[in-house]
Homo-oligomer: A and B are copies of this chain.
Amino acid sequence: MAFQLTVDDLPDLVRGAALLGTGGGGDPQIGRVLVAHALGERSITILSPEDLDDDALVIPTAMMGAPSVLLERLPRGTEPVDALRRLEAQIGRPASATMPIESGGINSTIPLLVAAQTGLPVVDADGMGRAFPELQMETFAIYGIDGSPLAIADERGYTAVVDTGADNRRMEAYARAVTVRMGGVGYIAEYAMSGADVKRTAIPGTLSLALRLGRTLREAREGHRDPIDALAEMLPDTLYRHGSRLFTGKVVDVDRRTEGGFTRGVARLAAFESDSSCEVEFQNEFLVARVDGQVRTVVPDLITALHLETGEPITAESLRYGQRVCVFAIATPEIMRTAAALEAFGPQAFGLAEEFVPVEHISAPLGGGA
Protein backbone atom coordinates (compact mmCIF):
# COMPACT_ATOMS: atom_id res chain seq x y z
CA MET A 1 0.00 0.00 0.00
CA ALA A 2 2.33 2.68 -1.28
CA PHE A 3 1.38 6.29 -0.66
CA GLN A 4 2.76 9.73 -1.46
CA LEU A 5 4.11 11.93 1.30
CA THR A 6 4.16 15.71 0.81
CA VAL A 7 5.50 18.64 2.75
CA ASP A 8 2.06 19.08 4.35
CA ASP A 9 2.41 15.70 6.06
CA LEU A 10 5.68 16.61 7.74
CA PRO A 11 4.40 18.40 10.88
CA ASP A 12 2.26 15.40 11.92
CA LEU A 13 4.95 12.93 10.93
CA VAL A 14 7.74 14.55 12.94
CA ARG A 15 5.46 14.97 15.95
CA GLY A 16 4.58 11.29 15.92
CA ALA A 17 8.16 10.28 15.22
CA ALA A 18 9.39 12.38 18.13
CA LEU A 19 6.89 10.59 20.34
CA LEU A 20 8.17 7.18 19.21
CA GLY A 21 11.69 8.58 19.64
CA THR A 22 11.21 8.38 23.43
CA GLY A 23 13.17 11.55 24.10
CA GLY A 24 15.95 10.75 21.63
CA GLY A 25 16.40 10.66 17.89
CA GLY A 26 17.24 14.34 17.62
CA ASP A 27 15.21 17.51 17.39
CA PRO A 28 12.20 16.86 15.08
CA GLN A 29 12.18 20.35 13.56
CA ILE A 30 15.71 20.15 12.12
CA GLY A 31 14.83 17.15 9.97
CA ARG A 32 11.50 18.67 9.01
CA VAL A 33 13.09 21.88 7.71
CA LEU A 34 15.72 19.98 5.73
CA VAL A 35 13.14 17.72 4.09
CA ALA A 36 10.74 20.59 3.35
CA HIS A 37 13.55 22.56 1.75
CA ALA A 38 14.70 19.63 -0.40
CA LEU A 39 11.20 18.47 -1.33
CA GLY A 40 9.42 21.65 -2.32
CA GLU A 41 6.17 20.88 -4.16
CA ARG A 42 7.12 17.30 -5.00
CA SER A 43 6.21 14.15 -3.08
CA ILE A 44 8.02 11.10 -1.72
CA THR A 45 6.89 7.55 -2.45
CA ILE A 46 6.46 5.56 0.75
CA LEU A 47 6.43 1.78 0.17
CA SER A 48 5.11 -0.89 2.49
CA PRO A 49 7.59 -3.73 3.06
CA GLU A 50 5.29 -5.99 1.03
CA ASP A 51 5.64 -3.63 -1.95
CA LEU A 52 9.36 -4.52 -2.18
CA ASP A 53 10.75 -7.13 -4.55
CA ASP A 54 12.50 -9.83 -2.54
CA ASP A 55 15.81 -9.03 -4.27
CA ALA A 56 15.50 -5.25 -3.96
CA LEU A 57 18.48 -3.58 -2.25
CA VAL A 58 17.35 -1.44 0.69
CA ILE A 59 19.95 0.83 2.33
CA PRO A 60 18.81 2.48 5.56
CA THR A 61 20.18 5.98 6.30
CA ALA A 62 20.42 7.88 9.58
CA MET A 63 22.15 10.44 11.76
CA MET A 64 24.61 9.08 14.35
CA GLY A 65 25.76 11.04 17.38
CA ALA A 66 24.65 13.14 20.31
CA PRO A 67 21.35 14.95 19.71
CA SER A 68 22.64 17.82 21.90
CA VAL A 69 25.49 18.37 19.46
CA LEU A 70 23.11 18.36 16.50
CA LEU A 71 21.45 21.48 17.90
CA GLU A 72 24.76 23.33 17.55
CA ARG A 73 26.03 21.71 14.36
CA LEU A 74 23.27 21.77 11.80
CA PRO A 75 23.81 19.36 8.91
CA ARG A 76 24.67 20.78 5.49
CA GLY A 77 22.05 18.41 4.14
CA THR A 78 24.35 16.57 1.74
CA GLU A 79 25.79 14.17 4.31
CA PRO A 80 23.20 11.36 4.25
CA VAL A 81 23.34 11.04 0.46
CA ASP A 82 27.16 11.09 0.66
CA ALA A 83 26.95 8.13 3.05
CA LEU A 84 24.43 6.32 0.83
CA ARG A 85 26.54 6.80 -2.31
CA ARG A 86 29.68 5.69 -0.48
CA LEU A 87 27.97 2.48 0.63
CA GLU A 88 26.52 1.86 -2.85
CA ALA A 89 30.07 2.18 -4.25
CA GLN A 90 31.31 -0.23 -1.60
CA ILE A 91 28.61 -2.80 -2.37
CA GLY A 92 28.87 -2.20 -6.11
CA ARG A 93 25.10 -1.84 -6.57
CA PRO A 94 22.64 1.06 -6.35
CA ALA A 95 19.93 1.08 -3.69
CA SER A 96 16.29 0.42 -4.71
CA ALA A 97 15.02 2.25 -1.62
CA THR A 98 16.10 3.73 1.68
CA MET A 99 14.52 3.18 5.11
CA PRO A 100 14.78 4.56 8.66
CA ILE A 101 16.81 2.56 11.18
CA GLU A 102 14.68 3.92 14.01
CA SER A 103 11.69 6.12 14.76
CA GLY A 104 12.69 9.51 16.08
CA GLY A 105 12.62 13.18 15.38
CA ILE A 106 15.58 13.33 13.06
CA ASN A 107 16.03 9.71 12.09
CA SER A 108 12.53 9.34 10.73
CA THR A 109 13.31 12.28 8.44
CA ILE A 110 16.86 11.50 7.24
CA PRO A 111 15.59 8.84 4.78
CA LEU A 112 12.98 11.35 3.60
CA LEU A 113 15.76 13.85 2.94
CA VAL A 114 17.64 11.18 0.96
CA ALA A 115 14.44 10.43 -0.97
CA ALA A 116 13.82 14.11 -1.70
CA GLN A 117 17.35 14.47 -3.07
CA THR A 118 17.62 11.20 -5.00
CA GLY A 119 14.06 10.24 -5.94
CA LEU A 120 14.40 6.90 -4.11
CA PRO A 121 11.31 5.57 -2.33
CA VAL A 122 11.30 5.12 1.47
CA VAL A 123 10.19 1.90 3.13
CA ASP A 124 7.48 2.31 5.79
CA ALA A 125 9.32 0.32 8.48
CA ASP A 126 12.40 0.52 10.70
CA GLY A 127 14.65 -1.57 12.96
CA MET A 128 13.61 -0.31 16.38
CA GLY A 129 10.01 0.90 16.29
CA ARG A 130 11.30 3.58 18.65
CA ALA A 131 14.76 5.14 19.10
CA PHE A 132 17.83 3.57 20.73
CA PRO A 133 21.28 5.03 21.23
CA GLU A 134 23.38 2.26 19.62
CA LEU A 135 23.56 0.68 16.18
CA GLN A 136 23.56 -2.97 17.23
CA MET A 137 20.17 -2.36 18.90
CA GLU A 138 18.27 -3.17 15.72
CA THR A 139 15.76 -5.91 14.95
CA PHE A 140 17.83 -6.23 11.75
CA ALA A 141 20.83 -7.32 13.85
CA ILE A 142 18.80 -9.52 16.18
CA TYR A 143 17.31 -11.43 13.29
CA GLY A 144 20.60 -11.97 11.43
CA ILE A 145 21.42 -8.99 9.23
CA ASP A 146 24.99 -7.62 9.35
CA GLY A 147 25.20 -3.87 9.85
CA SER A 148 28.52 -3.90 7.96
CA PRO A 149 29.70 -2.45 5.77
CA LEU A 150 28.70 0.89 7.28
CA ALA A 151 29.49 4.19 5.58
CA ILE A 152 29.74 7.42 7.58
CA ALA A 153 29.99 10.94 6.15
CA ASP A 154 30.54 14.38 7.65
CA GLU A 155 29.68 17.89 6.49
CA ARG A 156 33.09 18.25 4.80
CA GLY A 157 32.29 15.34 2.48
CA TYR A 158 34.77 13.13 4.33
CA THR A 159 33.82 9.48 4.72
CA ALA A 160 34.77 6.28 6.46
CA VAL A 161 33.61 2.75 5.72
CA VAL A 162 33.65 0.31 8.63
CA ASP A 163 33.49 -3.44 8.07
CA THR A 164 33.32 -5.69 11.13
CA GLY A 165 31.60 -8.67 9.50
CA ALA A 166 28.83 -10.03 11.73
CA ASP A 167 30.06 -8.11 14.79
CA ASN A 168 27.57 -5.24 14.99
CA ARG A 169 28.74 -4.21 18.43
CA ARG A 170 32.23 -3.45 17.11
CA MET A 171 30.73 -1.73 14.08
CA GLU A 172 28.95 0.56 16.52
CA ALA A 173 32.16 1.13 18.51
CA TYR A 174 34.34 1.94 15.48
CA ALA A 175 31.70 4.15 13.86
CA ARG A 176 31.02 5.91 17.18
CA ALA A 177 34.73 6.69 17.50
CA VAL A 178 34.72 8.31 14.07
CA THR A 179 31.50 10.19 14.89
CA VAL A 180 33.11 11.71 17.98
CA ARG A 181 36.11 12.88 15.93
CA MET A 182 33.81 14.24 13.25
CA GLY A 183 32.63 16.65 15.92
CA GLY A 184 29.93 14.57 17.61
CA VAL A 185 27.61 13.96 14.65
CA GLY A 186 27.95 11.82 11.51
CA TYR A 187 25.53 10.53 8.88
CA ILE A 188 25.41 6.83 8.11
CA ALA A 189 24.24 4.19 5.67
CA GLU A 190 24.27 0.65 7.06
CA TYR A 191 22.34 -2.64 7.34
CA ALA A 192 22.03 -2.88 3.56
CA MET A 193 19.59 -5.73 3.01
CA SER A 194 17.26 -7.41 0.53
CA GLY A 195 13.55 -6.74 0.27
CA ALA A 196 12.99 -10.25 1.64
CA ASP A 197 15.06 -9.39 4.71
CA VAL A 198 13.10 -6.19 5.29
CA LYS A 199 9.87 -8.22 5.36
CA ARG A 200 11.44 -10.71 7.78
CA THR A 201 13.24 -8.37 10.24
CA ALA A 202 11.83 -4.84 10.17
CA ILE A 203 9.02 -3.42 12.28
CA PRO A 204 6.40 -2.55 9.68
CA GLY A 205 4.35 0.59 9.32
CA THR A 206 6.26 2.86 11.68
CA LEU A 207 6.31 5.89 9.34
CA SER A 208 2.58 5.76 8.78
CA LEU A 209 2.12 5.13 12.51
CA ALA A 210 4.15 8.27 13.29
CA LEU A 211 1.94 10.18 10.87
CA ARG A 212 -1.18 8.84 12.58
CA LEU A 213 0.13 9.53 16.12
CA GLY A 214 1.02 13.09 15.17
CA ARG A 215 -2.35 13.64 13.55
CA THR A 216 -4.17 12.22 16.59
CA LEU A 217 -2.42 14.68 18.92
CA ARG A 218 -3.08 17.62 16.60
CA GLU A 219 -6.72 16.80 15.89
CA ALA A 220 -7.47 16.34 19.60
CA ARG A 221 -5.93 19.73 20.27
CA GLU A 222 -7.90 21.34 17.43
CA GLY A 223 -11.07 19.67 18.73
CA HIS A 224 -10.44 20.85 22.30
CA ARG A 225 -10.05 17.29 23.54
CA ASP A 226 -7.19 16.19 25.81
CA PRO A 227 -4.48 15.04 23.37
CA ILE A 228 -2.99 12.59 25.87
CA ASP A 229 -6.35 10.92 26.37
CA ALA A 230 -6.68 10.68 22.59
CA LEU A 231 -3.27 9.04 22.40
CA ALA A 232 -4.12 6.49 25.08
CA GLU A 233 -7.34 5.65 23.23
CA MET A 234 -5.64 5.23 19.88
CA LEU A 235 -2.73 2.95 20.88
CA PRO A 236 -4.67 -0.32 21.51
CA ASP A 237 -5.50 -0.30 17.82
CA THR A 238 -1.77 -0.45 16.82
CA LEU A 239 1.14 -2.90 16.96
CA TYR A 240 2.01 -1.24 20.29
CA ARG A 241 -1.25 -2.26 22.00
CA HIS A 242 -0.97 -0.23 25.22
CA GLY A 243 -0.27 3.32 26.47
CA SER A 244 -0.75 4.90 29.89
CA ARG A 245 0.08 7.99 31.92
CA LEU A 246 2.90 7.29 34.40
CA PHE A 247 3.32 10.64 36.06
CA THR A 248 2.16 14.22 35.80
CA GLY A 249 4.16 17.08 37.24
CA LYS A 250 6.81 19.75 36.86
CA VAL A 251 10.44 19.31 35.82
CA VAL A 252 12.53 20.31 38.85
CA ASP A 253 16.02 19.22 37.80
CA VAL A 254 17.87 18.00 34.68
CA ASP A 255 21.44 16.67 34.76
CA ARG A 256 22.68 16.40 31.21
CA ARG A 257 26.13 15.83 29.71
CA THR A 258 27.61 14.89 26.34
CA GLU A 259 29.86 11.91 26.84
CA GLY A 260 31.39 9.39 24.45
CA GLY A 261 29.17 10.59 21.63
CA PHE A 262 25.94 10.36 23.66
CA THR A 263 23.68 12.74 25.57
CA ARG A 264 23.38 11.18 29.04
CA GLY A 265 21.66 12.25 32.21
CA VAL A 266 18.65 12.17 34.45
CA ALA A 267 15.53 14.35 34.74
CA ARG A 268 13.57 14.74 37.96
CA LEU A 269 9.90 15.74 38.21
CA ALA A 270 7.70 16.67 41.16
CA ALA A 271 3.92 16.18 41.31
CA PHE A 272 1.77 19.32 41.47
CA GLU A 273 -0.29 18.44 44.53
CA SER A 274 1.54 15.69 46.40
CA ASP A 275 5.05 14.70 47.52
CA SER A 276 5.26 12.18 44.72
CA SER A 277 8.30 12.41 42.43
CA CYS A 278 9.51 10.82 39.22
CA GLU A 279 13.04 10.24 37.92
CA VAL A 280 13.77 9.46 34.26
CA GLU A 281 17.26 8.32 33.18
CA PHE A 282 18.37 8.78 29.59
CA GLN A 283 21.16 7.86 27.17
CA ASN A 284 19.95 9.87 24.16
CA GLU A 285 16.58 8.11 24.82
CA PHE A 286 14.62 7.71 28.05
CA LEU A 287 15.66 4.36 29.52
CA VAL A 288 13.85 3.94 32.81
CA ALA A 289 11.16 5.84 34.69
CA ARG A 290 10.86 5.46 38.45
CA VAL A 291 7.96 6.92 40.47
CA ASP A 292 8.71 7.34 44.17
CA GLY A 293 11.67 5.00 43.69
CA GLN A 294 9.64 2.21 42.04
CA VAL A 295 10.29 1.25 38.40
CA ARG A 296 7.20 1.96 36.34
CA THR A 297 8.62 1.53 32.81
CA VAL A 298 11.95 0.27 31.50
CA VAL A 299 13.50 -0.29 28.05
CA PRO A 300 12.58 -1.55 25.51
CA ASP A 301 9.11 -0.28 26.46
CA LEU A 302 8.71 3.35 25.41
CA ILE A 303 8.89 6.28 27.82
CA THR A 304 7.82 9.63 26.42
CA ALA A 305 7.62 13.10 27.90
CA LEU A 306 4.65 15.12 26.63
CA HIS A 307 3.77 18.77 27.23
CA LEU A 308 0.86 18.47 29.60
CA GLU A 309 -1.51 20.75 27.72
CA THR A 310 -0.50 20.29 24.07
CA GLY A 311 0.66 16.66 24.08
CA GLU A 312 3.73 17.78 22.13
CA PRO A 313 6.64 15.31 22.69
CA ILE A 314 9.72 16.73 24.45
CA THR A 315 13.19 15.37 23.67
CA ALA A 316 15.68 14.68 26.47
CA GLU A 317 17.84 17.61 25.34
CA SER A 318 14.83 19.98 25.41
CA LEU A 319 13.71 19.17 28.96
CA ARG A 320 13.95 22.32 31.05
CA TYR A 321 13.23 23.34 34.63
CA GLY A 322 9.61 24.32 35.12
CA GLN A 323 8.09 22.46 32.16
CA ARG A 324 4.68 20.89 32.90
CA VAL A 325 4.98 17.34 31.67
CA CYS A 326 3.14 14.06 31.41
CA VAL A 327 5.43 11.03 31.44
CA PHE A 328 3.61 8.56 29.24
CA ALA A 329 4.50 4.88 28.72
CA ILE A 330 3.86 2.77 25.61
CA ALA A 331 4.29 -1.00 25.28
CA THR A 332 6.85 -2.03 22.68
CA PRO A 333 5.83 -4.46 19.87
CA GLU A 334 6.22 -8.15 20.77
CA ILE A 335 9.10 -8.58 18.23
CA MET A 336 11.08 -6.26 20.55
CA ARG A 337 10.52 -8.40 23.66
CA THR A 338 11.98 -11.78 22.62
CA ALA A 339 14.95 -13.11 24.62
CA ALA A 340 17.33 -12.14 21.80
CA ALA A 341 15.81 -8.67 21.62
CA LEU A 342 16.06 -8.12 25.38
CA GLU A 343 19.69 -9.21 25.29
CA ALA A 344 20.41 -6.50 22.70
CA PHE A 345 18.41 -3.65 24.20
CA GLY A 346 16.84 -4.74 27.48
CA PRO A 347 17.75 -3.05 30.78
CA GLN A 348 21.06 -4.97 31.19
CA ALA A 349 22.30 -3.75 27.79
CA PHE A 350 22.21 -0.24 29.29
CA GLY A 351 23.84 -1.22 32.58
CA LEU A 352 20.56 -0.98 34.49
CA ALA A 353 20.00 -3.32 37.44
CA GLU A 354 16.27 -3.73 36.75
CA GLU A 355 14.77 -6.79 35.05
CA PHE A 356 12.46 -6.11 32.14
CA VAL A 357 8.78 -6.28 33.12
CA PRO A 358 6.18 -5.35 30.47
CA VAL A 359 4.81 -1.90 31.20
CA GLU A 360 1.21 -3.11 31.08
CA HIS A 361 1.98 -5.33 34.12
CA ILE A 362 3.46 -2.59 36.32
CA SER A 363 1.73 0.59 35.28
CA ALA A 364 -1.76 1.83 35.77
CA PRO A 365 -4.34 0.64 33.25
CA LEU A 366 -4.91 2.44 30.00
CA GLY A 367 -5.93 6.04 30.42
CA GLY A 368 -5.25 6.17 34.18
CA GLY A 369 -2.14 7.35 36.01
CA ALA A 370 -0.78 9.58 38.72
Contacts and interface: CB of A to CB of B under 8 A. Distances in A.
A167 B157 CA distance: 11
Interface residues of A, number: 20
Q: Secondary structure of the A side of the interface?
A: mixed
Contact of A163 (B158, B162, B180): B158
A88 to B, nearest CB: 14
A158 B181 CA distance: 20
Interface string A164-181: 110100100110111011
A160 B158 contact: no
Contacts of A174: 158, 160, 178, 181-182
A283 interface: no
Nearest to A173: B181
A61 to B, nearest CB: 18
Contacts of A182: 174
Interface in A166-223: 167, 170, 173-174, 176-178, 180-182
A164 B158 contact: yes
A181 to B, nearest CB: 4
Nearest to A161: B161
A258 B174 CA distance: 19
A361 interface: no
B160 A165 contact: no
Given A177-B177, A181-B174, A162 B165 contact: no
A156 interface: yes
Contact of A180 (B160, B162, B165, B177): B177
A159 interface: yes
Contacts of A164: 156, 158
Contacts of A165: 156-158
Contacts of A170: 156, 158, 181
Contacts of A178: 160, 162, 174, 177-178
A183 to B, nearest CB: 10
In the complex, the 3 A-B pairs of residues with the closest C-beta atoms, listed nearest first: A177-B177, A158-B164, A177-B181
Given A156-B170, A160-B178, 14 more contacts: A156-B167, A158-B162, A158-B165, A158-B167, A158-B170, A158-B174, A159-B163, A160-B162, A161-B161, A162-B178, A174-B182, A177-B178, A177-B180, A177-B181
